[in-house]
Structure 1
């Protein structure tokens, strides 16, 4: 998961410890951990990194994780294995499963595996260490007070058993002991920093141990989640350069290490050179993995480098993998509530960029069925997730289908605004400029009257997105009236607003508006300006088939057959949809 709503919501108090307790992803004693969004190529990051929601968990929802009577040995979780001091091969297998699941960010299931290993061999020191480790913070969620006691108990038990373990195991346990404190008022930042410092010492003592190196890298990542690059993505922040070097060294020695690949993708995806993670992403995609988040992870790089078809396929496999997993454990908790919807959302966004309308629309419908009103009512940040399907419908659904969609509740104004947006685009496409204008007016009314403070405090630029949407609807109305000048003015305003949006994946706005501006400029005969707009679109979204089509039309307008042929070939490679659906009015 490329950006954590869990951290943002805990930080702002929008969800409670009870909602997260089932997975053990609970933090701190009283300290809080700040988080910043991925660094965009052109923008300052937003102040919190956000992802899909974590649903409320009732007391009974934890049962699947508390029950150790039938803990499956899941197949296809990778080959990572760390030998622990135990006489039980079965305890070793469950320990390895816990470590692999932790590397795949399924911390609740990882904890269950570590606890099963403890049940089989109560004297396995590192089995208790594993439970304590996954109860701590990670880049997608801080730690809450409710995890402090079980984490401390687990690491205390590990310390008691450590004398019988190997020196490397003892070193890991001693380092983790610095992450937790009996004092509930202990500062979380200081504890996390102490743990990271201790792990750096352990890594120096065992420089050839891949898992120790990866765990050290993660400890450093947790000190500044998602805040790894200066604006523009060229200059690293804090420990970033060191983390990148550590993970690259592990992948050079062990190119199949799922933890190293996973964390490396997160480290460089928001940089100005995400392509350096392509070999690892390709390798991860080639594995037959049963961990949905790891199946999904290559798409974080594929989307950034313009491999939308590969991103689509990765998320399609991830959704299927997660659905099979959720059939066995149910739908309670952070993994099904946050990571699973993220994969659906990413599948939809990838399909949109690749021109695969049927997949985009079907994914939109699945996402609408997955994210509930109760979730949006509890967690205001869910509104952008609920609203995203309207973008897919605006792009691919027929106007009559869009107009038949029921109105969302007035209590979700961001969602309501994007419903009006889709309707406005549909009516403009159908030639009813007056009706489309009413939808733009409805968006404007929501801009004036709705309270978006909950969204804005969670880092969602709601006001900017609504203003952008209104300008795009007005531009589509101008196009319907053959008013190229009006369309150019409105698309220019929308593109300027889009340029101010913080980096997000999938993006807050679903396509580069520069391609619409380019189409309007080309229709007005302003060929050079159109070419520049399409080029800008391609820098914002590499290998974007919509913009490649526009560029092809620019070359055709110039009479440059070779350049047009080259653009057409690029379009054919990038496009998953029907090429016949493309025309300038749809860009």
Structure 2
């Protein structure tokens, strides 16, 4: 982002903090007094419907889908002829960056679009928006049997339609923002093991967004989608200023408070991660009584704050975070929440090298989710147990947990979920490698652990997680250090730090390798 754009953003944020945003002032008069940023999306509907539509659109750009939908539904009630209100309902019925759309979401979106077609949009621009989202909800010509491949085909169709809409209305900031988001979402479907990503789509999305910041410095979609576009170790530095400003744009919105952590984690900025995700978790928790979906955002933020506390060595607050997660009595059953709830428990013990406690983890707990529906999340428990058991000497348990991991890998492959199948396979290799090492088969162990590390590193982390629960590359470095192969160990720790900067264990391991190398010379 150029300095010109950054200055405009900073100036706008000062205006926001002073309460000068006209949209924010209007929102303060609303029942919930929510500050969301500035959107200006004229539609052919009455004034009340337009007001509800704007509020729904702002929530939508923050990916607060469940909060957005009631406003679009209210717009449909106050203006029964408003076709664009049904566009909004359809847009809240799929979460393209997170996971494949449920049958219920597909049904709701298709019904909304049928109603929009029945009403008819009076302008070509509105027809274009409706056609763009309809591309996602139209069944692919060749139906894909697996949810993952069906999702890929739908996102690709939506991407092409959003590109056409943007090219037709190049001055329309929302058309540009949704096109940029579609590019990032499609890139997320293209993870492939052993193929390095060049981030072409993410760079294109980020560059497009930057073009609009000067004229729309308070637009929520520009902030949000820029952070997703640059959510990689290679690109994160380009989004740091936006990350430090996004929370001011929507200071009461859980996902807006959380999103900056995607950039902070990539850069190893742990204090800022804790700050944003503590606030995000509080905002989500405050909304859980009225909105059960908020519990998913709560767990998502807890995983990020757990990760950051552990990197800071703040074990007491990490322990309190674990307790909060384990005493939850409800969690909205979506894949990212299942992953985060599993990961934060497992990382708590693995990061602290508490191998016996990791081995004693109880899978699929707390019992607030249909865990069997989330094999990638279940696998995390068996990874933690397997590594913990192998490193504390219980090879029988480690082998059983390795088998449970293999079962989840088979399930994920059967579902054609290439990303999570491959990432889980990397975890299985790590458990098997440590078993081999404890059995005295050192060279086989090192070879298999390196395979696991290479597989894991060949795919970037999913936006679901702040980072791998315990990077396999670090485990590989640990083995090398145990074998006093100091140069190789240092190289492995450095490679891990390049992917995940400022990780506490990798830094300590690198220091230990250098110290032991010097003392043995």
Same fold per superposition (TM over 0.5): yes
Q: What is the Cα deviation at residue 155 of structure 1?
A: 1.7
Q: What is the Cα deviation at residue 528 of structure 1?
A: 4.0
Q: What is the Cα deviation at residue 99 of structure 1?
A: 0.2
Task: Write out aligned runs for 1:331-346 (5 A).
Answer: 331=292, 335-336=293-294, 338-346=296-304
Q: Could you report, residue by residue, the CA deviation over 1:175-211 in whole angstroms, capped at 9, with x for unpaired residues?
A: 5566666x99897888866665554344334322212
Change (3 A) 1:158 1:290: farther
Larger radius of gyration: 1
Task: Write out aligned runs for 1:186-585 (5 A).
Answer: 196-221=159-184, 225-227=188-190, 231-234=195-198, 236=200, 242-270=204-232, 272-329=234-291, 331=292, 335-336=293-294, 338-370=296-328, 382=338, 385-386=341-342, 388-396=344-352, 414=379, 417-418=382-383, 420-421=385-386, 424=389, 436-438=392-394, 440-448=395-403, 451-452=407-408, 453-457=410-414, 458=417, 459-460=420-421, 461-469=423-431, 471-472=433-434, 494-501=449-456, 502-505=459-462, 506=465, 509-512=468-471, 514-515=473-474, 527-553=486-512
Q: Could you report, residue by residue, the CA deviation over 1:26-56 in whole angstroms, capped at 9, with x for unpaired residues?
A: xxxxxxxxxxxxxxxxxxxxxxxxxxxxxxx
Once residues 210 and 233 of structure 1 are traced to their aligned partners in structure 2, the CA distance between those partners, rounded to angstroms, is: 28
Q: Could you report, residue by residue, the CA deviation over 1:50-100 in whole angstroms, capped at 9, with x for unpaired residues?
A: xxxxxxxxxxxxxxxxxxxxx954512222232334453x43332111001
Q: Could you report, residue by residue, the CA deviation over 1:142-164 in whole angstroms, capped at 9, with x for unpaired residues?
A: 444422542223322552xx33x
* Residue 153, structure 1, aligned to residue 114, structure 2: yes
* Residue 140, structure 1, aligned to residue 104, structure 2: no
Once residues 336 and 154 of structure 2 are traced to their aligned partners in structure 1, the CA distance between those partners, rounded to angstroms, is: 31
Once residues 365 and 532 of structure 1 are traced to their aligned partners in structure 2, the CA distance between those partners, rounded to angstroms, is: 36
Once residues 232 and 497 of structure 1 are traced to their aligned partners in structure 2, the CA distance between those partners, rounded to angstroms, is: 15
Q: What is the Cα deviation at residue 288 of structure 1?
A: 4.4
Number of the residue aligned with 2:17: none
- Asked whether the 8 Å contact 1:318–1:343 carries over to 2, the reply is yes
Q: Could you report, residue by residue, the CA deviation over 1:242-280 in whole angstroms, capped at 9, with x for unpaired residues?
A: 433322212343233221222222223247323222222
Q: Which is further off, 365-374 or 73-82?
A: 365-374
Once residues 191 and 489 of structure 1 are traced to their aligned partners in structure 2, the CA distance between those partners, rounded to angstroms, is: 43
Number of the residue aligned with 1:99: 57
Q: Could you report, residue by residue, the CA deviation over 1:334-376 in whole angstroms, capped at 9, with x for unpaired residues?
A: x446444322222222322332222333333333344889969
Change (3 A) 1:507 1:84: closer
| Secondary structure of 1:128 counterpart | helix
- Asked whether the 8 Å contact 1:228–1:236 carries over to 2, the reply is no
- Asked whether the 8 Å contact 1:268–1:274 carries over to 2, the reply is yes
Once residues 460 and 432 of structure 2 are traced to their aligned partners in structure 1, the CA distance between those partners, rounded to angstroms, is: 21
- State the structure with bigger RCO (CA 8 A, min sep 6), 1 or 2: 1
Once residues 374 and 285 of structure 1 are traced to their aligned partners in structure 2, the CA distance between those partners, rounded to angstroms, is: 24
Normalised by the length of structure 1, the TM-score is: 0.64
Change (3 A) 1:196 1:538: closer
Structure having the higher helix fraction is 2
Change (3 A) 1:250 1:390: same
Question: RMSD across aligned C-alpha pairs, in angstroms?
Answer: 4.5
Change (3 A) 1:371 1:546: farther
- Asked whether the 8 Å contact 1:196–1:220 carries over to 2, the reply is yes
Task: Write out aligned runs for 1:79-118 (5 A).
Answer: 79-88=38-47, 90-118=48-76
Change (3 A) 1:224 1:390: closer
- Asked whether the 8 Å contact 2:96–2:155 carries over to 1, the reply is no
Q: Which is further off, 270-279 or 504-513?
A: 504-513
- Asked whether the 8 Å contact 2:433–2:445 carries over to 1, the reply is yes
1:172 to 129, 134, 154: 129
Q: What is the Cα deviation at residue 322 of structure 1?
A: 0.8
Normalised by the length of structure 2, the TM-score is: 0.71
Once residues 546 and 267 of structure 1 are traced to their aligned partners in structure 2, the CA distance between those partners, rounded to angstroms, is: 28
Once residues 336 and 88 of structure 2 are traced to their aligned partners in structure 1, the CA distance between those partners, rounded to angstroms, is: 34
| Secondary structure of 1:327 counterpart | coil
* Structure 1, unaligned runs of 5 or more: 1-70, 429-435, 479-484, 561-587
- Asked whether the 8 Å contact 1:128–1:158 carries over to 2, the reply is no
Q: Could you report, residue by residue, the CA deviation over 1:4-25 in whole angstroms, capped at 9, with x for unpaired residues?
A: xxxxxxxxxxxxxxxxxxxxxx
Change (3 A) 1:185 1:317: same
User: Across the two proteins, how many residue pairs are aligned to each other?
Assistant: 459
Q: What is the Cα deviation at residue 507 of structure 1?
A: 6.8
